[in-house]
Amino acid sequence: MSRRYEKIAFIASSSPEAAEAESRLVARYGTCDPAQADVVVALGGDGLMLQTLRALMRSGKPVYGMHRGTVGFLMNEFNEADLRERLAAAEETVIHPLVMRAKDRSGNSHEHYAINEVSAFRQTYQAARLRILVDGQVRLPELMADGIMVATPAGSTAYNLSVQGPIIPIRAPLLALTPISPFRPRRWHGALLPDTARVTIDVIDPDKRPVAAVADHSEVRDVTSVEIAMDHTISMHMLFDPGHSLDERILREQFGY
């Protein structure tokens, strides 16, 4: 069912292309503070979309992206005309973020949210040594690799796909646990987990083989353990033009177009 969005807030990336688009759209449709808006329109690439979703994570406000950046997998095509009509006809996709809780070598705790993935990476030339637990049970006593990630369905076509992880349909209640350049066990390609799973990554020998944890763009260095789970209490609402939903785009990726 279509919904009328009267109050629109525009957010643009720092690129000249996005700034120019924002100026024209504000002149045409007006704008308001995101806190008072019915809908937020993000102008840029996927990076801006992720930033906007994180900033509005707990607001419940829908976000409609228009591509004025580099990578636009999460964005709709840019068009100045008939924006209110496009918003009214848009289809909604609801996604949930991952929460990363990491402990560093100094004993400090860090919490960050991710929409695409949480990763653990080696910080030096030496491969990381990692122990993998799922819901408190050791599933892989030792992984030697550049790292490992947990990806959401929304993030399964991003970095996860680049390291040969599986593509997950957006509505599937799954997470992808994907190794990054595994050395041992060499033939382990990862696992699909229910999205209720709690993944713990323990760093073996963190003094000799330091590891950083990254939740999308938030990095914690010199970690000793990382706990990752999907936070189902937070729902983010993304709007897409009919026929170009996130569900459809992820399905197309599985067929290579």
Q: Which residues are catalytic?
A: 46
Residues 6+ apart with CB under 8 A from 235: 60, 94, 95, 96
The total of other beta-carbon atoms located within 10 Å of residue 191's CB is: 17
Return phi, psi of residue 7, to 5°: -100, 115
Rounded to 10 degrees, the C-alpha dihedral 119/124/128/134 comes to -20
> Is there a contact between 66 and 87 (Cβ–Cβ < 8 Å)?
no
- CA distance linking residue 61 with residue 7, whole number of Å: 12
Return phi, psi of residue 36, to 5°: -100, 0
Q: Which whole-number Å values give the CA distances from 53 to 56, 155, 205, 216, in the listed order?
A: 5, 13, 36, 12
- CA distance linking residue 110 with residue 113, whole number of Å: 10
> How is residue 9 written in tokens?
């807030």
List, edge to edge, every strand of the sheet that includes 91-95: 8-12, 39-44, 62-67, 236-240, 91-95
> Is there a contact between 119 and 101 (Cβ–Cβ < 8 Å)?
no
Token pair 């990491």 is found at 102
